[in-house]
A = this chain, B = another copy of it.
Amino acid sequence: MFHQIVKAVPNLFTIGNFLCGVLSITFNMSGFIEVASILIFFSAVFDLLDGRVARTLKVNSEFGVVLDSLADIVSFGVAPALLFHTIAAPSILTSLAFIIFPTMGALRLARFSVKPTIGYFKGLPIPAAGLPLAGMGFFSYSNPWITLILAILMVSPIRVKKL
């Protein structure tokens, strides 16, 4: 029983990450762009903590890894793309960047799930792509080229050292 509760602790952080992503979208819908942006940063804090808590408590689980990907696609894929879409001037390039960004994020997450790398990441991790968009969003700045470059970096073969 006690072990079951301890096992659930990291997943509560992951759900925190997920819900901050969902709430970011609702605040964005209500026009609170800064709040929407800050919530994506909160997601990142939860995302950093869930893995560390799991390792500290020695309760890493496959369930936790899958849940983490599901949270990440919402918090660092869809929510930042929607923030970009709200701020950016409408154009074909904006629409393209808006569609490509979360799609590349999903492909990146699926690839990492199937072929996890140890000690380094292959391609920019999705939080590292979503956070710059959230930061730019906080200052009501958007740039479709930066969005596209971040999207492509996620599925690129570049190596990124793990934090």
Contact = CB atoms under 8 A, between A and B. Distances in A.
Copies of this chain in the oligomer:
2
B73 A106 contact: no
Contact of A22 (B81, B107, B109): B81
Interface string A20-54: 00100110110000000000000000000000000
29 contacts: A18-B106, A19-B99, A19-B103, A22-B78, A22-B81, A25-B25, A25-B78, A26-B85, A26-B98, A28-B29, A29-B29, A62-B113, A62-B114, A63-B111, A63-B113, A66-B110, A66-B113, A66-B114, A67-B106, A69-B70, A70-B73, A70-B106, A70-B109, A70-B110, A73-B73, A73-B74, A74-B74, A74-B102, A78-B78
